[in-house]
A and B are shown apart, each in its own frame.
Chain A
Amino acid sequence: MDGFSKSIGGGGPNVPAGSHPAGGSQAAAGGGATQRTQYPYVTGTSVIALKYKDGVIMACDTGASYGSTLRYKSVERIKAVGKHSIIGASGEYSDFQEILRYLDELTLSDHMWDDGNSLGPKEIHSYLTRVMYNRRNKFDPLWNSLVIGGVKKGPKGDEKYLGMVNMIGTHFEENHVATGFGNHLAIPILRAEWHEDMTFEEAVKLVEKCLLVLLYRDRSSINKFQIAKITTEGSTIYPPYSLKTYWGFTHFENPAQGAVGSW
């Protein structure tokens, strides 16, 4: 009984799995760094991405909330990684900054080999999957859902890659992905309207359609978006812009007119 209660509430990463110290002492007994992200503080909302003819397009809004307050309104949640990939994150923003640091170290040490080869999106995805899963096993997760997209020359020519990893280590590769609320609001649209080899304009239109629905129906999204694309020529993160919203339905004006007490 006591050992069981310890693994749920207490023992930090220093306590090996097999030991059951007598008298259920609390987390501090482990000594040293008992760090765990119990709940996220500054969070970003959904990221959506899809493959198109020339590569991968990714989009998200530029807001970061502190609980229910919209604290930061100009946050870049999509960054380039190496020459071949872009990464977008939702969830705890400080954990995303930490992940970017790990990726920096990774790409730097890879560059120092100076062997003409560079890390592609598949390798970055694999690396991040290991990082996320190992952290989750230590009960100290990086509280993010990450989207990795990129294009790299492979044996069959230019291979487009789009994958996702979340905080517990679930990872997969798909033609279109979304995190957070995007799973419920954007994926139905993407499943119905995505097709192979879309042009850039078509892809942007589809992404904007999803972003607009998220703006209307996700309380933590804001009307300031960034779109990023990655092709064989490299990554481009476009400057932020807003979408036009429509509020002119006749039913929105004076809804209680026909039914008193109704909203």
Chain B
Amino acid sequence: MTGSMDLPAKGGFSFDLCRRNNMLEKNGLKLPGFRKTGTTIVGLVFQDGVVLGADTRATEGPIVADKNCEKIHFMAPNIYCCGAGTAADTEAVTDMVSSQLQLHRYATGHESRVVTALTLLKSHLFRYQGHVSAALVLGGVDCTGPHLHTVYPHGSTDTLPFATMGSGSLAAMSVFESKYKEGLTREEGIQLVSDAICAGIFNDLGSGSNVDVCVITKGKTEYLRNHQLPNPRTYASSKGYSFTKGQTEVLSTKITPLKQKVEVTGGGDAMEE
């Protein structure tokens, strides 16, 4: 066999840098941790119910993977949930609890309560000890009134009049802390939620694109998808670009006709079962 230094150029894992990494770590270098996926999600309680809001940017490291994703998930006709953290985890966990709530509705014959969703979510997340990286803002209106909760990846929950989560949560919280008061009207609530999400969009790199809003009141839920589009795309020409015939100079033309007829000779092999 040839010398042991002949590592293949492609394929396989190269252990060349492991000694260097160990040495750096021993000398005090901190290895990079897991990045929080960027999001701004908010919720607040107003006089008739709750308003939830979210931005629409999904990131994969430094790249925007989805410019207009939906972060406000359906749980029940009267309960919605915003999700921050790993997108797969938030989708899966809200989907799962939404199905459980529906089965529960069939069994009881009553409208779902927000505490039910809350308890299902927190017990699931606690069981997985924080490995299911889902940070949620859960809001809804049921027979006992409007409720707003935050659920953390390790399974703890808060009951709050206004809440923000995600990397843009500080920017959004600064707007809430300075402008929130009790007994807001529907318009004021939507405006405040939009302002908070916009603060996250413009001041946090992990959040961006558009504002989604969901208003839940007794008996009625309005999902205002793309309620605000503060980042429009601006073209140099509003009609786009038109390329007329003759604009590009033709230097030479070569036409290769494809075979018109294809003849199949003899029977082909029978397909293998």
Q: Which B residues are CB-close (under 8 A) to A191?
A: 202-203
> B174 and A263: CB pair below 8 A?
no
> B161 and A213: CB pair below 8 A?
no
> B161 and A258: CB pair below 8 A?
no
Minimum distance in angstroms from B179 CB to a CB of chain A:
9
Question: Which of A188, A191, A256 counts the most B-chain CB atoms under 10 A from its CB?
Answer: A188
16 additional A-B residue pairs with CB within 8 Å, beyond A212-B177, A259-B159, A261-B122? A9-B28, A184-B171, A185-B171, A185-B174, A188-B171, A188-B202, A191-B203, A217-B174, A251-B45, A251-B161, A259-B114, A259-B119, A259-B147, A262-B118, A263-B157, A263-B159
Q: Nearest B residue to A189 by beta-carbon distance?
A: B174
> A186 and B156: CB pair below 8 A?
no
> A263 and B177: CB pair below 8 A?
no
Q: Which A residues are CB-close (under 8 A) to B93?
A: none
A209–B178 CA distance with the chains assembled, in angstroms: 6
Contact of B199 among A192, A216, A252, A261 (CB under 8 A): A192
Q: Nearest B residue to A9 by beta-carbon distance?
A: B27
Range of interface residues on chain A?
20 to 34
21 cross-chain CB contacts under 8 A: A184-B174, A185-B170, A188-B174, A189-B174, A189-B199, A191-B202, A209-B178, A210-B174, A212-B177, A217-B170, A217-B174, A217-B177, A251-B161, A255-B159, A258-B159, A259-B115, A259-B118, A259-B159, A261-B119, A262-B158, A262-B159
A191–B201 CA distance with the chains assembled, in angstroms: 13
Q: Is A187 close to B, CB under 8 A?
A: yes
Q: Is B17 close to A, CB under 8 A?
A: no
A258–B141 CA distance with the chains assembled, in angstroms: 12
Q: Is B144 close to A, CB under 8 A?
A: yes
Minimum distance in angstroms from A243 CB to a CB of chain B:
12
Q: Is B173 close to A, CB under 8 A?
A: yes
Q: Is B182 close to A, CB under 8 A?
A: yes
Minimum distance in angstroms from B47 CB to a CB of chain A:
11
Contact of A251 among B159, B174, B202 (CB under 8 A): B159
Q: Is B154 close to A, CB under 8 A?
A: no
**Known pairs A188-B175, A188-B203; A255 contacts B147 (CB<8 A):** no
A9–B28 CA distance with the chains assembled, in angstroms: 8
Minimum distance in angstroms from B156 CB to a CB of chain A:
7
Q: Is B149 close to A, CB under 8 A?
A: yes
Q: Is B69 close to A, CB under 8 A?
A: no
Q: Which B residues are CB-close (under 8 A) to A22?
A: none
Q: Which B residues are CB-close (under 8 A) to A216?
A: 177
A213–B164 CA distance with the chains assembled, in angstroms: 14
Q: Which B residues are CB-close (under 8 A) to A217?
A: 170, 173-174, 177
